[in-house]
Homo-oligomer: A and B are copies of this chain.
Amino acid sequence: MLYMLSNAQIKLIRSLEQKKYRIQHGLYVAEGEKIVAEILNAKVAFAKVYVTKNWIEKNDDLFHQNEQLISVVNNGELNKISFLHTPNEALALMPVHYPSINNFSMDDNLVLALDTIQDPGNMGTIMRIADWFGINTIVCSDNCVDVFNPKVIQATMGAFLRVKVYYTNLEDFLKNQKNKGISIYGALLNGEVIYDAELSNNGILLMGNESKGIHENLIEFIDKPLFIPKLGGSESLNVSVATGIICSEFSRRKFLK
């Protein structure tokens, strides 16, 4: 009863590590026992799921509700298609979908704007932070790492199911939003101390590249530069840590209101 993957299937799935093949096939990979259970529970669209017998024992109901789209494989087969060092009982093929920036609208929460975030771990961790603080939307510059990169998906710990990620020309986007009167915050070394700063309920928080910070051409759109005071010798904080700290400050204002 165990499903055997064909060489063509293995080749296709493994190719999804690269963006051009994700776009060509319209698919990306999400892995892990919990993530796959979450996908099935959330009833979001998926193309195909591969699981081990061990996974079925723990997720019997989910298996029976989705039996037609699930193939049961052994660990050796899962190994052939997994991007993890230690393959983890379940793998889902999901449909790639990039929402159009034309459908963007401000909600009553912060929106994150990311300029040239290149490390998949940082991108995933920032999505996880957004998800924790109830931030639903991230707008990325076109040269940010692709959200459907398997390392990004892995680092989100499920946040990719809840946080919407747009890719666009950030300069045009920020110009538009500023014209609409939206507050644009940005993390800058010469900004206002976050502990004192007046922070609104919504607005856009712009975070910059891991080593180069926010690009020159975007800085002019920031009307509220923010700074996390430094007491020691470090030159900078990791961008996902800084994002977490600033999001927490916005959250604290709401929480204590």
Contacts and interface: CB of A to CB of B under 8 A. Distances in A.
A110 to B, nearest CB: 10
List 8 A-B pairs, minimum CB-CB distance, nearest first: A134-B231, A131-B234, A134-B232, A241-B244, A132-B234, A195-B252, A245-B248, A131-B232
Contact of A245 (B134, B159, B245): B245
A218 interface: no
A142 to B, nearest CB: 23
Contacts of A248: 228, 245, 248-249
> Which of A121, A130, A237 is packed against the most chain B CB atoms within 10 Å?
A237
A135 B254 CA distance: 29
Given A131-B232, A231-B132, A232-B130, A195 B255 contact: yes
A219 B162 CA distance: 32
A133 B256 CA distance: 24
A49 to B, nearest CB: 21
Interface residues of A, number: 43
Interface in A204-257: 228-238, 240-245, 248-249, 251-252, 254-256
A124 to B, nearest CB: 9
18 contacts: A125-B238, A128-B234, A128-B241, A131-B232, A132-B231, A132-B236, A132-B237, A133-B231, A134-B231, A135-B232, A157-B234, A158-B234, A159-B234, A229-B251, A231-B251, A238-B244, A242-B244, A244-B245
Given A232-B135, A244-B245, A128 B195 contact: no
B195 A232 contact: no
Contacts of A243: 241
Nearest to A126: B241
